[in-house]
Every structure is written in structure tokens, then in C-alpha cells.
Amino acid sequence: MTITSTNTRRLTKPAAPADTGNWRDDAECRAHDDPDLWFPVGHSVGWIAQIREAKTICGQCPVRRECLEWALAAGQLNGIWGGLTEGERQELLRDRADVRARSYERCIDAQEFIERRVAEKATHRMIADELGVGRSAVSKALRFFQSERAAAGIEVVKAA
């Protein structure tokens, strides 16, 4: 099913990712007849009131977090999802990207520690927990270390 907004004439895909189940069935917005409420247009007083009303409904929604995570993962550009506008979601994504970049930089700075822990057969998750970063940052840093060592002709230490 595709929803066509009469105000915007934009098509939006329904929020139904295969890996998150049927969270939409419990969404507060499903009880409202006007899907355009979540797709405000313009910058007028009515537009602001529309956003406020949609956010109020989202604030009472039991699946708000699932909705927001879906919109972020799907790259949903239009409308209010998980109680956030397009601009608010873009800001959140920028903040998350900054956190990921800082985590990776922290791992690069901790090269000796990471390589020592790998040699001790620590898992990426254990190392990540010890450094206070995500496992993917550790994995990415290790790949970088290995590529640098390989380029220099140095034996590469394999992770556990």
C-alpha cells in the first residue's frame, strides 16, 4: 500500500521493514484518519500547529522508538516519524555520525592496546566494552591496522 498525500502529492512508502515485525499495528497514528497530519507543507502558522499536533500524538505512541529507528534506517526524508521532523532526524543522524567518527578515532589512538588484546585472544566486543566504543569501530580500526601492516610488509595479527 502506498499513501499519497493530497497536500504534497508526494508518495511515501509504508513503514514496514521486514526485520522489525508489525510495530505499525500498535502505532497511535493508525487511529487517525488524516495521514497528511504527519506530512506538513509550508512554513505558516497552520504548519506549526500541524507539527505540534502530530508530535503530541507521537509522544503518546508505544512504538515511537521503533518508528524513529525505522525512519532513520530507511532514510525517510519526508514527514514526521517517531515524533521528529525531517530536520530533527537529519540532526540526529549527524550527531550519530559524529559519535561513530569519534569512536573510530579513539580506536586508532588505542592501536597498541587493541593489538595487544587481540593477541591475548580478546573478542572485538570485549575490546569495545573496555574502550567504551562500538564493536564496529574496533573492527574497522583493526582492518585499518592490518592494511597498514600489509602495505608495509609486516605480518598481520588475526583477530580472535
Residue 33 pLDDT level (bands cut at 50, 70, 90) = confident
Residue 27: what pLDDT? 93
For residue 135, what is its C-alpha cell? 564493536
Q: What is the pLDDT of residues 108-141, one digit of tens each?
A: 999 999 999 999 999 999 999 899 888 999 999 9
Q: What is the reported pTM?
A: 0.59
Nearest to residue 69, comparing CAs of 87, 85, 84, 82? 82
pLDDT at position 4 over 70: no
> How many angstroms separate the CA atoms of 125 and 6, rounded?
48
- In this prediction, residue 112 carries a pLDDT of 94
Query: Which pLDDT does position 61 carry in this prediction?
Result: 94
Counting residues of the chain whose pLDDT is more than 90, the rounded percentage is 49
Give the list of residues 6+ apart from residue 77 with CB closer than 8 angstroms, or none.
Answer: 86
146: which residues sit within 8 A by CB, 6+ positions away? 156, 157
Give the pLDDT confidence of 34-76 residue by residue, as tens digits: 888 999 887 777 888 899 999 999 999 999 999 999 998 888 8
Band of pLDDT at residue 5, cut at 50, 70 and 90: very low
Q: Is the pLDDT of residue 3 over 70?
A: no
Q: Map grid coordinates 580472535 to a residue.
A: 160
The contacts of residue 138 (CB under 8 Å, 6+ apart) are 107, 114, 124, 127, 128, 131
Which helix (H) or strand (E) covers residue 95, if one does? helix 86-109
Q: Are 71 and 89 in contact (CB under 8 A)?
A: yes
